[in-house]
Amino acid sequence: MRCRSLVFIVVAVAIVLLANTYAEAQCSMCRASLTSVTNSRFIRNFNIGVLVLLIPPVSIFCSIFIVMRKFKAADERESTRIEEDNE
């Protein structure tokens, strides 16, 4: 199970890193202010910075669901064990 999850994560990261499409990770105000800038390197770095700032909230969100899933599995095992003991 862990191996399959690890493979899924590696494949997902590889797809994200190898994607050559332009990611519009800007709000409309940021995009409007960047249209006046002619330096394409600055615009690319700005987009990368916005994507990097997205990592902490996504990590926290995923961590909460992982912890909830583990506690649910432990609770189900405990309730199954109690039911078996009562029989």
Say if residue 61 is exposed, middle or buried (CB neighbours under 10 Å; 0-12, 13-18, 19+). exposed
Q: In one letter, which amino acid is 51? A: L
pLDDT tens string, the chain, 87 residues long: the values are: 577 888 888 888 888 777 765 555 567 777 777 777 787 788 888 888 888 888 899 999 999 999 998 888 777 777 777 767 766
User: How many CB atoms within 10 Å of residue 34?
Assistant: 14
Helix/strand/coil for 3: helix
Which positions ≥6 away from 37 have C-beta within 8 Å?
Answer: 43
Please state the pTM of the whole predicted model. 0.47
